Amino acid sequence: MLFTITGKHVDISEAIKKHAEEKTGKLPKYYNSINQVEVIIDGGSSGSNVSVEIIARGEHSNVFVATEAGVDAYRCIDVAVHKLERQLRRKKTRERNNKHAGGAESTQPGST
């Protein structure tokens, strides 16, 4: 999985990078076709508020985006990852349910 982190108007410390990589590294557990994760941290012009945007790209042009704003970058990363986990779980559930949607007419051998 490809991981990139970008900082706008803020320096990305090694601790923040490690935290974001550790948290987003668990995303393929919820939806296994995730192949790229991009984290964008925007410090804003005032410097007191931080905005975090996480973009997860999967196969077949599936793109998942979660944003969070707050004072603490670590907390924003945690909340944004939680939002992404919810989106990925919902997508996987829908795919599984749609796989078995047309089961009324069976064309399997031996069915009458």
Residue 47 has pLDDT above 70, yes or no: no
- Give residue limits of the domains in the chain: 2-98
Per residue in 73-96, pLDDT (tens digit) is 999 999 999 999 999 999 999 888
pTM score, whole prediction: 0.82
Q: How far apart are CA 64 and CA 85, in angstroms?
A: 10
At 98, the pLDDT band (50, 70, 90 cuts) reads: confident
CATH architecture of 2-98: 2-Layer Sandwich (3.30)
Predicted confidence band of residue 46 (pLDDT cuts 50, 70, 90)? low
Contact of 37 with 20, CB cutoff 8 Å: no
Measure the CA–CA gap between 5 and 38, rounded to whole angstroms: 6
